[in-house]
C-alpha cells in the first residue's frame, strides 16, 4: 500500500526487562550512560561451557513485577518476563486498565525464541533419567514458544489477533511490522507487539557449539571482535492509530513508518557476504515508508559482533547509503544488552524510539580497535545528543531472514520528547 | 451488507498453484483424487513403535521420496519438516507454472506456519547436552532446531529471496501464515507468496500428545478420527505439508496464469482459555468469523461452504458446531465438512486444508467428512460421499487450544 494512503501508526507505550533495564526509564538511562550489562551468568551453572558471560536479566522477581491478581502458575521465565513488560507498556500508554470496549479489538504479536525451554530442560533431564513413561509431562506444558502470547491475551481477556513469529533473531522486528499492518488492515485497534527471549542452557550450548560466542564481552565493529554475547529480554510496545492516540491525548514516542523483510537464500547460519539480503531489506523498508536513504539520521545496527556480520552489515550500509553512509551514525546497542535473539528487534525498536523521542544516539561500547573493513561512524566515544527524525533498525537472522524497521519522530500534540 | 470494495488488481490475491505432501498422497492430482473419493490417510503408525503410547493410529506421509524434489547437496542438511516443506513448495511453484529466475526471485517469498518445527532435532540436541555436556552438541544439527529452518531450506533450494517468515500458534499456525501472506501481497511487499504449514509425526511428539490425552481413544473405546460424530473420542495425530502459491491478481494476469480461486478475506482473533485448554465458549469463533467476512466484504448468507476445524475432539467439535448454529440461520446454513477425518490433526495442517478448499472452490465439490456416521448437529454436514455444489464463498476455520482463531475466505475467481 502507498505509504501516504496508509493509516499512520503511533507507539504510545513501551515496557522492557533486559540486562541494563528493569524498566524503560532505567533502559533509557543505561543507553545514555553506555552501561554494559554483559557479565557472569548466575541463572545456571556455566562451568562446563566454554564461555560464562551473558546479558542476563538480574534480580527478576516475578511476584514483584506482576500484581497478585494474576496467577503465575505454570508460567515460564519467558512468560513472566513478557507479561511484566506488557503490563509496564500498557500502564505507560495510559491503558491501566484497558477499557472493555478496546480489549476485544486488541491483539498480540510476539517474536518468540526459546519459549519455555529453560523450564523444559528439567523435563528433558527427567526424560533421560526415567524414560518417557515416567517423565513429568506437566513440565513440558510451558515449553511452547507461543505460550507467552497466549498468556498475555488470556490474562487480559484480549479478543484480537494473536501471532508468534519464529524467525530467530529477526522475529521481534517482524512482529512490530506485522502489528502495524494488522491495525491498518482493520484486524485490530491496538496491538501489543514485541519479543521475548529467555536465557537457557540449550540455547547457550547451541551458540557455544557454533563457536559464535565471545568469551569476553562482545565488541561490535571492533577489529578484535570474536563473536556475540547472548542475552535475554522482553520488549513490548503498544501500537495504535496516530489519530486515536491524539484523540485520547496519549504520549507518543514516534511512528512506525515502514518495514521490509527479505531472505538471503544463501546459508542457514552464515550471512551472505555479498550482503544482498541486508541491502534489499533496508531498501524494502525505505520503499515501504516512502523515504529515501537521504532521510535516515541514525542506524541502529544488527551489529552482533561476529566477525562476518559486522563486515557484511557495514558493506550493506555502504551500498544503500553510498557516500552518505560515512555521515550517518551507526551503533550496536547489543554491546550493552547483548544479543537477545527473538526479542532483539523489539528491544532495539524501543532503543530506537527512545533515541528519537529523547534526542540522543546510543553508543557502541566495549570498542577498542578500529577495523579497516568496518569504517563507518559507530559512535564509540559514548552517547551523543542529536536531533533525530528518522531511525532505521536492522535485524538479521539464522535462516537468512532479514528485517528492517523504520521509525519516525512525531512532533505534534502528545510528542514524548521534551 | 458490508460495503463492496472495488479492489485494484494489485491488492486482490489469487491462488495459482497447490503443492502438498500429505497422508492422502504427494502432489495435487493424487491428493485430489483420493480426497474427493473419501479415502482415509489414517492407519497404524509405521515410522516408529507406538508401544509407549496409548494409541496406534496416525496419518503419515508415505510414498514420499525427497530425492524426487530436492538436490542431493541440500537434502542431507534437512530434517523431515524441511524436506516436506521444500518438496511441497517446489510442487506449488510447478503447479503455478512459475520458474524462479534472477529477475523475479526478490519478489517471491514464503510464509510458513509450523506448530512444532523439528521437535525430534531439538530433543536430540537437548539429550546430548544434558547427558554428555556442551561439548557433545553437534553443530550440524543446531540450525535445524530453529523453527524457521524449513522456510530457510526451501528458499535456498528453490532460490527465491523475497519475504521469508515463519509463524507458530498450534492449530492455527498455517491459517495465520496464509493470512499474513495475503497481507504481504496486499501491501505490495511481494508478487508471489508460497504460504501454508508443515509438521511431522515423530515418536517423541506422538508419545507427548498421548500423554496430554488428546489422542483417540481417550476413553478406551475404538480408536479413530470422527469429526462431529456422537461417538468421537479424540483426534488422530497426523503430519504433512500443504502450500498455496498466492499471487497478486495483477501479477497472475500479467503472466497469463490459470487462477484456481481468490483469497478474499482473513480474520484473526483470540478468546480466554487456559494455556493448553480448548475454549468452552463460542465468542472467539464468532468474532473471528465476523472479522474474516468483513475483510472479504460478504455476509454470512453468502457463504456456501465451511471447512471446519473439528478433529474428533470432544470439546472442539461441540463448540465449533454450536458456534455455526448461532451464526447461520437454519434455512441458510452452508455445507460444512472436516477433512481431518481423512488427514488427522497435524496442527499446521491448515496448509493442506487450504489446498483442499481451493480445489473445492475450483471444482464446485466438497469432500466428505470421513469417519462421521452419527452427526451431533442438524447443520448440513457433508458425509458419506462428496457433495457437488456451486461454491461462491468458502470459509476455512482455524481454531486452536489456548484460544487462538484464524479464519480464511476463499472465493470463486471472477474477473
| Contact of A356 with A407, CB cutoff 8 Å | yes
State residue A345 phi and psi, 5-degree precision: -60, -35
Residue of A160, A195, A209, A277 to mutate when probing chain B, most B C-beta within 10 A: A209
Output the pLDDT for position B220.
Answer: 86
The percentage of residues in chain B with a pLDDT greater than 70, rounded to a whole number, is 99
Q: Which residues in chain A land under pLDDT 50?
A: 418
Quick check: A25 contacting B, CB < 8 Å? no
Output the pLDDT for position A290.
Answer: 97
Indicate the pairing of strand B192-199 with strand B240-248: antiparallel
Angstroms from B339 CA to nearest CA on chain A: 24
Half-sphere exposure of A343 (CA within 13 A, CB side): 35
Return the closest-CA partner of residue B88 out of B53, B120, B113, B59.
B113
pLDDT tens digits, one per residue of B386-402: 999 999 999 999 999 89
Output the pLDDT for position B1.
Answer: 42
Output the pLDDT for position B4.
Answer: 56
| Contact of B32 with B367, CB cutoff 8 Å | no
Cα A68 to Cα A63, A99, A148, A198, distances in angstroms: 7, 20, 18, 22
Which residues of chain B neighbour A266 with C-beta distances below 8 Å?
A: 156
Output the pLDDT for position A392.
Answer: 98
Half-sphere exposure of B91 (CA within 13 A, CB side): 29
Residue in A104, A137, A261 nearest the CB of B165:
A261
A 144-173 → B contacts, CB under 8 A: 144-147, 149-151, 153-154, 157-168
Q: Which residue of B has its CA nearest to A209?
A: B139
Beta-carbon contacts of residue A5 (< 8 Å; ≥ 6 apart): none
Which residues of chain B neighbour A107 with C-beta distances below 8 Å?
A: 268-270
Q: Which residue of B has its CA nearest to A185?
A: B183
Higher pLDDT, B2 or B243: B243
Beta-carbon contacts of residue B293 (< 8 Å; ≥ 6 apart): B2, B265, B267, B299, B300, B303, B395, B409
Q: Give the DSSP per-residue string, A103-141.
A: HTTEEEEEE-SSTTHHHHHHHHHHHHHH-TTTS-GGGGT
CATH number of B13-411: 3.40.47.10
Inter-chain touch A121–B130, beta carbons under 8 Å = yes
Domain spans, chain B: 13-411
How many Cβ pairs within 8 Å bridge chains A and B?
Answer: 222
Which residues of chain A neighbour B282 with C-beta distances below 8 Å?
A: none
Q: Which residue of A has its CA nearest to B407?
A: A161
Regarding an ipTM greater than 0.90, the answer is yes
Residue in B146, B211, B403 nearest the CB of A399:
B146
In terms of phi and psi (left: phi > 0; alpha: psi -120 to 50; beta: otherwise), the region of A115 is: left
Output the pLDDT for position B3.
Answer: 54
Least confident of B57-61, B159-163, B216-220, B335-339: B216-220
Which residues of chain B neighbour A197 with C-beta distances below 8 Å?
A: none
pLDDT tens digits, one per residue of B23-45: 999 999 999 999 999 999 999 99
Residue in A132, A181, A204 nearest the CB of B52:
A132
C-alpha span between A370 and A359 (Å, rounded): 27
B239: exposed, middle or buried (Cβ count in 10 Å: 0-12, 13-18, 19+)? buried
Residue in B164, B186, B402 nearest the CB of A1:
B186
Residue of B270, B350, B402 to mutate when probing chain A, most A C-beta within 10 A: B270
Output the pLDDT for position A213.
Answer: 95
Q: How far apart are the first and last CA of chain A?
A: 33
Angstroms from B349 CA to nearest CA on chain A: 17
Inter-chain touch A154–B272, beta carbons under 8 Å = yes
State residue B332 phi and psi, 5-degree precision: -130, 30
pLDDT tens digits, one per residue of B107-120: 999 999 999 887 77
The percentage of residues in chain B with a pLDDT greater than 90, rounded to a whole number, is 82
Catalytic site residue A302? yes
Residue of B52, B137, B148, B289 to mutate when probing chain A, most A C-beta within 10 A: B148
Output the pLDDT for position B278.
Answer: 86
Which residues of chain B neighbour A204 with C-beta distances below 8 Å?
A: 134
Inter-chain touch B52–A400, beta carbons under 8 Å = no
Which three three-digit cell numbers place residue A372?
Answer: 579497516
Residue in A167, A186, A201 nearest the CB of B165:
A167
The model carries a pTM of 0.97
Quick check: A206 contacting B, CB < 8 Å? yes
| Contact of B150 with B86, CB cutoff 8 Å | yes
Active-site hit among A169, A200, A218, A374: A169
Residue B2 has pLDDT above 60, yes or no: no
Least confident of A148-152, B55-59, B98-102, B273-277: B273-277
Inter-chain touch B127–A124, beta carbons under 8 Å = yes
Quick check: A1 contacting B, CB < 8 Å? yes
Which residues of chain B neighbour A186 with C-beta distances below 8 Å?
A: 294-295
Inter-chain touch B126–A121, beta carbons under 8 Å = yes
Inter-chain touch A167–B275, beta carbons under 8 Å = no
Residue in B125, B148, B276 nearest the CB of A166:
B148
A 75-94 → B contacts, CB under 8 A: none
Residue in A147, A210, A261 nearest the CB of B163:
A261
| Contact of A187 with A160, CB cutoff 8 Å | yes
Domains of chain A and CATH, by start: 10-408 (3.40.47.10)
Output the pLDDT for position B5.
Answer: 60
Amino acid at each position: 500500500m502507498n505509504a501516504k494512503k496508509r493509516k499512520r501508526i503511533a507507539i504510545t507505550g513501551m515496557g522492557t526487562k533486559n540486562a541494563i533495564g528493569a524498566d524503560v526509564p532505567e533502559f533509557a538511562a543505561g543507553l545514555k550512560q553506555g552501561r554494559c550489562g554483559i557479565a557472569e551468568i548466575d541463572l545456571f551453572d556455566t562451568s562446563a561451557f566454554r564461555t560464562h558471560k551473558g546479558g542476563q536479566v538480574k534480580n527478576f522477581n516475578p511476584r514483584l513485577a506482576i500484581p497478585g491478581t494474576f496467577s503465575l502458575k505454570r508460567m515460564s521465565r519467558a512468560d513472566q518476563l513478557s507479561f511484566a513488560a506488557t503490563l509496564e507498556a500498557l500502564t505507560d500508554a495510559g491503558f491501566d486498565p484497558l477499557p472493555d470496549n478496546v480489549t476485544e479489538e486488541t491483539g498480540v504479536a510476539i517474536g518468540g525464541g526459546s519459549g519455555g525451554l529453560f523450564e523444559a530442560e528439567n523435563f528433558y533431564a527427567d526424560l533421560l533419567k526415567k524414560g518417557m513413561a515416567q517423565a513429568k509431562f506437566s513440565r513440558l506444558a510451558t515449553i511452547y514458544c507461543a505460550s507467552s502470547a497466549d498468556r498475555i491475551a488470556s490474562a487480559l481477556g484480549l479478543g484480537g489477533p494473536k501471532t508468534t513469529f519464529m524467525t530467530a533473531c529477526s522475529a521481534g522486528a517482524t512482529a512490530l511490522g506485522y502489528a502495524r499492518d494488522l491495525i491498518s488492515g482493520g484486524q485490530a485497534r491496538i496491538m501489543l507487539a514485541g519479543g521475548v527471549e529467555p536465557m537457557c542452557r540449550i540455547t547457550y550450548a547451541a551458540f557455544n557449539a557454533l563457536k559464535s560466542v565471545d568469551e569476553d564481552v562482545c565488541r561490535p565493529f571492533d577489529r578484535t571482535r570474536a563473536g556475540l554475547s547472548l542475552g535475554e529480554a522482553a520488549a513490548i510496545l503498544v501500537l495504535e492509530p496516530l489519530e486515536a492516540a491524539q484523540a485520547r491525548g496519549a504520549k507518543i514516542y514516534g511512528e512506525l513508518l515502514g518495514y521490509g523483510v527479505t531472505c538471503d537464500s544463501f546459508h542457514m547460519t552464515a550471512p551472505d557476504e555479498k550482503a544482498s539480503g541486508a541491502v534489499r531489506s533496508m531498501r524494502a523498508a525505505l520503499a515501504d515508508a516512502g523515504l529515501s536513504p537521504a532521510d535516515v539520521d541514525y542506524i541502529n545496527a544488527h551489529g552482533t559482533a561476529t566477525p562476518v556480520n559486522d563486515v557484511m552489515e557495514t558493506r550493506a550500509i555502504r551500498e544503500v547509503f553510498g557516500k552518505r553512509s560515512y555521515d550517518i551514525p551507526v551503533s550496536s546497542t547489543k554491546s550493552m544488552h547483548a544479543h537477545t535473539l527473538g526479542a532483539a528487534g523489539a528491544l532495539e525498536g524501543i532503543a530506537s524510539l527512545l533515541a528519537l523521542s529523547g534526542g540522543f544516539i546510543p553508543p557502541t561500547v566495549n570498542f577498542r580497535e578500529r577495523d579497516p573493513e568496518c569504517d563507518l561512524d559507530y559512535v564509540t566515544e559514548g552517547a551523543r545528543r542529536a536531533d533525530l527524525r528518522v531511525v532505521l533498525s536492522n535485524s538479521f537472522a539464522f535462516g537468512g531472514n532479514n528485517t528492517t524497521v523504520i521509525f519516525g519522530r512525531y512532533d505534534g500534540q502528545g510528542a514524548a520528547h521534551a | 451488507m458490508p460495503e463492496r470494495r472495488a479492489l485494484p488488481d494489485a491488492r486482490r490475491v489469487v491462488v495459482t498453484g497447490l503443492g502438498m505432501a500429505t497422508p492422502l498422497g504427494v502432489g495435487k492430482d493424487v491428493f485430489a483424487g483420493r480426497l474427493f473419493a473419501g479415502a482415509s490417510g489414517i492407519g497404524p503408525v509405521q515410522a516408529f513403535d507406538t508401544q509407549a503410547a496409548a494409541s496406534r493410529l496416525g496419518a503419515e506421509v508415505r510414498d514420499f521420496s525427497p530425492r524426487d524434489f530436492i538436490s542431493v547437496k541440500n537434502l542431507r542438511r534437512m530434517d523431515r519438516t524441511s524436506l516436506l516443506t521444500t518438496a511441497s513448495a517446489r510442487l506449488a511453484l510447478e503447479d503455478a507454472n512459475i520458474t524462479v529466475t534472477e529477475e523475479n526471485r526478490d519478489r517471491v517469498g514464503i510464509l510458513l506456519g509450523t506448530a512444532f518445527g523439528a521437535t525430534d532435532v531439538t530433543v536430540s540436541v537437548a539429550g546430548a547436552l544434558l547427558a554428555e555436556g556442551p561439548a557433545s552438541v553437534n553443530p550440524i544439527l543446531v540450525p535445524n532446531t530453529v523453527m524457521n529452518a524449513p522456510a530457510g531450506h526451501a528458499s535456498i533450494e528453490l532460490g527465491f529471496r523475497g519475504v521469508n517468515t515463519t509463524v507458530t500458534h498450534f492449530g492455527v499456525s498455517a491459517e495465520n501464515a496464509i493470512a499474513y501472506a495475503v497481507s504481504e501481497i496486499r501491501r505490495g511487499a511481494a508478487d508471489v507468496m508460497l504460504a501454508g504449514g508443515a509438521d511431522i509425526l515423530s515418536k517423541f511428539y506422538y508419545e507427548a500428545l498421548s500423554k496430554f490425552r488428546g489422542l483417540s481413544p481417550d476413553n478406551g473405546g475404538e480408536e479413530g478420527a470422527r469429526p462431529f460424530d456422537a461417538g468421537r473420542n479424540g483426534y488422530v495425530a497426523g503430519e504433512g505439508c500443504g502450500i498455496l502459491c498466492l499471487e497478486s491478481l495483477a501479477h497472475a494476469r500479467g503472466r497469463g496464469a490459470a487462477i484456481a480461486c481468490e483469497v478474499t478475506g482473513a480474520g484473526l482473533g483470540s478468546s480466554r482459555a487456559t494455556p493448553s485448554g480448548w475454549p468452552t465458549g463460542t465468542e472467539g469463533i464468532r468474532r473471528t468469523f465476523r472479522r474474516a467476512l468483513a475483510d472479504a466484504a460478504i455476509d454470512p448468507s453468502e457463504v456456501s461452504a465451511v471447512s471446519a476445524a473439528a478433529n474428533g475432539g470432544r470439546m472442539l467439535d461441540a463448540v465449533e458446531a454450536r458456534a455455526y448454529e448461532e451464526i447461520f440461520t437454519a434455512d441458510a446454513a452452508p455445507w460444512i465438512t472436516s477433512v481431518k477425518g481423512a488427514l488427522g490433526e497435524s496442527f499446521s495442517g491448515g496448509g493442506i486444508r487450504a489446498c483442499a478448499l481451493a480445489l473445492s472452490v475450483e471444482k464446485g465439490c466438497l469432500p466428505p467428512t470421513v469417519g462421521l456416521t452419527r452427526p451431533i448437529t442438524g447443520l448440513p454436514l457433508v458425509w458419506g460421499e462428496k457433495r457437488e455444489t456451486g461454491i461462491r464463498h468458502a470459509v476455512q476455520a482455524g481454531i486452536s487450544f489456548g484460544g487462538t482463531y484464524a479464519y480464511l475466505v476463499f472465493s470463486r475467481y471472477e474477473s
